[in-house]
Amino acid sequence: MVSLNTVAPAAASPRPGLSETGVAIDARVEKIYYGDFLAVRDSHVAVEKGQITGFIGPSGCGKSTVLRSLNRMNDLIPSFRLMGSVTFLGQDIYAKSVDPVVVRRHIGMVFQQPNPFSMSIYENVAFGLRLNRFKGDYDEKVETALRKAGLWNEVKDKLRQNGLALSGGQQQRLCIARAIATNPTVLLMDEPCSALDPIATRIIEELMLELKQEYSVAIVTHNMQQAMRVADKTAFFSVDISKGGRTGFLVEQGDTRQIFHDPREKLTKDYISGEFS
Amino acid sequence: MTVIEADMNRKPDVPSLDHSFSDPRALRNTIQTVLLWIVALLASVPLFSVLYMLITRGGARLGWEAITALPPAGLEMGGGFGNAIVGTVVMVGIGALISVPLGVLGGLLLGAIAPSSRMSDAVRFVAKVLTGFPSILAGVFVYAWLVLGMGTYSAFAGGVALAVRMIPTVMLTAEQAVRMVPQRMKDAAFGMGCTQTQVALRVTLPTAMPGVLTGVMLAVAGAAGESAPLLFTALFSNYWIGSLTEPTASLSILIYNFSGMPFPNQIELAWAASLVLVLIVLVFNILSRLIGARRV
């Protein structure tokens, strides 16, 4: 089992829990607060190994908040508080002894806006390797990551060029290459295609289907067709505005087919039929 | 008849889109544009007359001897201000060695690490006050602290006095540059598993580097032209600099000394030294703009 309270592993070490099936991240969120504001309640979601889990739901339903709780990105917001537990391969990532920095090295993230660093394409991909003091063949690691991200052929002749000079879709694939260069166990994607055009979106979606051979993926999307196309499991969130607040909660989670064709909950059925009618 | 003509014939009330000075709005626009041009030209008269004087009067004497020889004595002919150029470079160098690390790290604290802490508020306030501080007070402060303490005027004391002037400029421009780094870039670094220090040093600072260097260049250009802080810290010397703990010549003090002398030779040298000083300042200003333009 991987330890979360020591320094990160060398980037080359085999990733834990690779071949088994089962749950990579099990989040039992009771409540998430920003200050006094209750943002999310009662949401139990699981990210399964080797599968793509889609988080869908209307705006403000807390799907991004929950996703960002899975690698403690929300810790960067000072007023954030989580009640409940999030376990990664059986370990509570919110335990006192856990270093959030180490958590993020195992659970990578791709953001809504492509956000490459203002440095060369090569250095962008090598960034995480250098961070982990990887000793070995950087060229090979960079090439492998760029190939997996489907970007190698487009950038192999301009690896020294600044990453910000690429197009939006290429930048997003560069961010994916950067995230997978260090071999994380789980990849969290927060609306990775919402800033991209349909063609770039298609390319990223095909990429996700390849990535799930090696990584467990969780993706937030506001595009239901996208969830249907790529997700194996889907978690549907909704938002409760009854008591004057805006509190998101999980309505149901299940196989994508079941969620879209045979939803158990009326809320899900209404949302999906509204979206598709 | 073209289509457009046909259209106009059918609708005689189509408005004219041509320039017309009979329209009060167009007239006001023209008058104001002319006024602004005149004011802008007036504002640049002092600037260009100073440059003109420097070039005609200083340029006449500028040559290899002027920038390499030692200053002449009273009625002696020839000579130059080579030691003052070296002294200025050395003291600005000392000032930069002190102010750049302090200023850049301070700017990082203000802009990235703890932008709204009480510590940052206090430091930012003091830095802003210090930019408007009379520069002679920097000299007085270093005189009382270093010159009296060491028992001698020195290049080191001069450099420290310049550093006092440079730190706020470097720090406040570094803060601005660091603040311009997009949050999503920092998020990416945190998402990769960076500690706060790693985010600041590996992502924020490199991204902000062009802006930071602009501030450094501006501070260097400003310090090269300073005279008040050097007046009673480095004093002056007629000889080449031998160590950092002895009185040292600088261009600005040489100009001050020589321009008040009754000897035409020294006065000519003061003009030439002024031209050299302006060129140094100009070079650093141009460098700062070139570096600043490289921003992504």
Collect the ranges in chain A with pLDDT lower than 70: 1-21, 275-277
A120: exposed, middle or buried (Cβ count in 10 Å: 0-12, 13-18, 19+) = middle
Measure B205 CA to nearest chain A CA, in Å. 11
Three-state SS for A112-151 is CCCCCCCCEHHHHHHHHHHHCCCCCCHHHHHHHHHHHCCC
> Which structural domain, as residue segments, surrounds residue B116?
81-293
The two most distant CA atoms of chain A are separated, in Å, by 57
| Domain presence at residue B47 | no
pLDDT of B102 = 96
Q: In chain B, which residues have their Cβ closer than 8 Å to the Cβ of A128? A: 192-193
**CB-CB neighbours of A275 under 10 Å:** 13
Q: Contact B203/A117, CB-based, under 8 Å?
A: yes
Q: Contact B182/A115, CB-based, under 8 Å?
A: yes
pLDDT of A12 = 41
Q: Contact B185/A117, CB-based, under 8 Å?
A: yes
| Domain presence at residue B57 | no
Give pLDDT tens digits for A5-17. 654 444 444 455 4
The structural domain count of chain A equals 1
B189/A contact by beta carbon, under 8 A: yes
| Domain presence at residue A133 | yes
| Domain presence at residue B235 | yes
CA atoms within 13 A on the CB side of A119: 19
B184/A contact by beta carbon, under 8 A: yes
| Domain presence at residue A15 | no
The structural domain count of chain B equals 1
Q: In chain A, which residues have their Cβ closer than 8 Å to the Cβ of B182? A: 115
> Which structural domain, as residue segments, surrounds residue A270?
24-276
| Domain presence at residue A4 | no
Give pLDDT tens digits for B54-96. 999 988 888 898 889 999 887 888 889 999 999 999 999 999 9
B117/A contact by beta carbon, under 8 A: no
The CATH number that applies at residue A71 is 3.40.50.300
A115/B contact by beta carbon, under 8 A: yes
A117/B contact by beta carbon, under 8 A: yes
Q: Which two tokens stand for residue B88?
A: 């200025």
The CATH number that applies at residue B269 is 1.10.3720.10
A101: nearest CB among B193, B203, B207 = B193
pLDDT band for position B6 (cuts 50, 70, 90): low
Q: Is the ipTM of this complex over 0.85?
A: no
Residue environment code for B221-234, b if the CB has 16+ CB neighbours within 10 A, otherwise e: bbbbbbbbbbbbbb
Q: What is the mean pLDDT of chain B?
A: 89
| Domain presence at residue A8 | no
A128/B contact by beta carbon, under 8 A: yes
A11/B contact by beta carbon, under 8 A: no
User: Which chain A residue is nearest to residue B205, measuring alpha carbons?
Assistant: A118
B193: nearest CB among A8, A115, A116 = A8
pLDDT of B12 = 63
| Domain presence at residue B12 | no
pLDDT of B293 = 74
| Domain presence at residue A9 | no
A76/B contact by beta carbon, under 8 A: yes
Give pLDDT tens digits for A66-97. 999 999 999 888 899 999 999 999 899 999 89
